[in-house]
Amino acid sequence: MSIEKQISIIKNEIKDKADLVAVSKTRSIQEIQEAYNSGQLKFGENRVQEIVDKQSKLPNNIEWHMIGHLQKNKVKYIAKFINLIHSVDRISLAKEIDKHAKKENRKIDCLIQLKISKEESKFGLQIEDFKNFYESLQNYKNLNVIGLMGMASFTDDNELIDKEFKKIKTIYDDMVLIDSRFKVLSIGMSDDYNIAIENGSNMIRVGSKIFGKRNY
Ligand SMILES: *Cc1c(COP(=O)(O)O)cnc(C)c1O
């Protein structure tokens, strides 16, 4: 099925409950252009070199989202144009984002990535460290925390996924009450965005359901 068709199916499913970030990692300029032509403006990437290259070749009104693990020595390459960094999970990275945002004379919107699954390989901040981490971020005036991101376990156990999303939603709801900047809960991917939306997701990150299976 075409990229355009897939996007319209997903948008129809999620209605206005959530923003759709089209995860375009590994996809060609042409595929992204096709999604863009159908009205899609938010794209997510997980590698700095790739996002920089694509940003330079594609229309200026695209919103670029960094959704993957970010090395602090690479923040400088994206600081000028990045719209939202979903993967802030350590102070050293936050400090670097703040520094480069200041240099560019802007504030960079960020999400704190929480580890909600038990899988070893996943990045993200441990939930028990969240409060301290959030407090420390207040020192970084050019880093604007606007919400949370999480990835559920890679499993077909929907109950487990539901439980993991409920964990992050609880924390998100607490934060909304105390910090007026909080407005994004980024949970849900191709295989679990329906469960995420039932749990209050307002931003989903969908790759393979739009562009087809990735070859890695
Ligand atoms: C790749 C990726 C996605 C999209 O995954 P799909 O299963 O292809 O929808 C979402 N979020 C993150 C952080 C990713 O790395």
Residue-level pLDDT, tens digit, the chain, 216 residues: 799 999 999 999 999 999 999 999 999 999 999 999 999 999 999 999 999 999 999 999 999 999 999 999 999 999 999 999 999 999 999 999 999 999 999 999 999 999 999 877 668 999 999 999 999 999 999 999 999 999 999 999 999 999 999 999 999 999 999 999 999 999 999 999 999 999 999 999 999 999 998 876
Cβ neighbours around 25 below 10 Å, total? 18
**39 DSSP β-pair partners:** none
Q: Is 49 in the pocket of ligand 1 (CB under 6 A)?
A: no
Q: Which atom of ligand 1 is closest in space to residue 191's alpha carbon?
A: 7
Domain of 175: which CATH number? 3.20.20.10
Residue 24 lies in a domain: yes
If phi > 0 it is left, if psi is from -120 to 50 it is alpha, else beta; for residue 53 that is alpha
Best mutation site among 23, 45, 165 for ligand 1, i.e. most ligand atoms within 8 A of its Cβ? 23
Residue 161 lies in a domain: yes
**pLDDT value, residue 111:** 98
Q: Is 46 in the pocket of ligand 1 (CB under 6 A)?
A: yes
Q: Is 21 in the pocket of ligand 1 (CB under 6 A)?
A: no
Give residue 131's domain range.
Answer: 3-211
Cβ-based burial of 146 (10 A; exposed 0-12, middle 13-18, buried ≥19)? middle
Residue 216 lies in a domain: no
